[in-house]
Amino acid sequence: MRNLTSNVLVAYASKHGSTEKIAHWIGNEIRGNVDVVNVNNIHNLNYDYIILGSPIYDHEPLPEMSNFINKNKEELRNKNKSVFVVSSDNEERSKREMNINALTKIIPGEINQSAVFAGEIDNSELSSSEQESVNRYMNSISKPIGSYSKLNEKKCREFGKSLNTFI
Ligand SMILES: Cc1cc2nc3c(=O)[nH]c(=O)nc-3n(C[C@H](O)[C@H](O)[C@H](O)COP(=O)(O)O)c2cc1C
C-alpha cells in the first residue's frame, strides 16, 4: 500500500536567496511531511523522498551542494529523488542541459525528475569580485549586464506538484 504520509526533504543550497525561494515554492506543493532545509543544516537523510536544488555559479553547482552529495553518496544512491538547478543561462536547450548535467553527473543512482529554473541577480547584493565574474560571464553569453529577475513561481510550483506522482 502507498505510504500516505511520506517524509520529504527539499535540500537546497543558495548564495543570494533565489534557490531558497524556489525550494519553498516546490515544498509548498508537495503532499506529506515536508522539510525545506539548507544543505548546511541537514543532519540526517531519514526521508522517503529527497529533492536536491542548487544554483549554478561559474558552470558548477555551489560547493556546499557538491560536498553534501559527496559526503552522503552511498545513502543518496538508493533514495527516491529529484533535482533542480537555478541559472541565468537557459534559453537554449543545450545550455539547460549543460546546467542540469553539472548537478546530475555527481548524484549517484536514479533520478525521477529534473528541472532547470531561471533565477535572479541583484547587482547591489554582489561583492565586487562576484560582479566582475558575473559581468564576464554575461558578456561571454552576449547577455546584458545588470540586475534581473526571471523567477517564475508558477513553473516552480508546477514542478513541485508533478513530483507528487513519485511520492
Ligand atoms: C558570480 C556569479 C556567477 C554565475 N555563474 C553562472 C553560470 O555559470 N551559469 C549560469 O547559468 N548562471 C550563472 N549565474 C546566475 C545564477 O545561477 C543565478 O543568479 C541564480 O539565481 C543564483 O542563485 P541564488 O540566488 O540561490 O544564489 C551566476 C551568478 C553570479 C552572481
Residue 13 counted as domain residue:
yes
Residue 167 counted as domain residue:
no
Average the pLDDT over 138-149 and give the result.
88
Distance 6 CA to ligand 1 centre (A): 32
Average the pLDDT over 110-129 and give the result.
95
Confidence of residue 2 (pLDDT cuts 50, 70, 90): low
Q: Ligand 1 test: best mutation among 18, 57, 94, 130, most atoms within 8 Å of CB?
A: 57
Confidence of residue 142 (pLDDT cuts 50, 70, 90): confident
Measured from the CB, is residue 133 less than 6 Å from ligand 1? yes
pLDDT at residue 145 is higher than 90: no
Cβ-based neighbours of 49, under 8 Å, separated by 6 or more: 6, 7, 8, 9, 32, 79, 80, 81, 82, 163, 166, 167
Residue 166 counted as domain residue:
no
Question: Is this prediction's pTM over 0.85?
Answer: yes
Identify whether the C-beta of residue 65 lies closer than 8 Å to the C-beta of residue 102: no
pLDDT at residue 3 is higher than 80: no
Measured from the CB, is residue 146 less than 6 Å from ligand 1? no
Distance 104 CA to ligand 1 centre (A): 17
Residue 85 counted as domain residue:
yes
**CATH number, domain at 30?**
3.40.50.360
pLDDT at residue 1 is higher than 50: no
Residue 164 counted as domain residue:
no
Measured from the CB, is residue 54 less than 6 Å from ligand 1? no
Identify whether the C-beta of residue 77 lies closer than 8 Å to the C-beta of residue 47: no
Q: pLDDT, tens digit, for every residue of 42-64?
A: 999 999 999 999 999 999 999 99
Domain count, the chain: 1
Worst-scoring range by mean pLDDT, 54-58, 71-75, 120-124, 152-156? 120-124
Residue 2 counted as domain residue:
no
Boundaries of domain holding 46: 7-159
Residue 76 counted as domain residue:
yes
Residue 115 counted as domain residue:
yes
For residue 57, the ligand 1 atom closest to its alpha carbon is 5
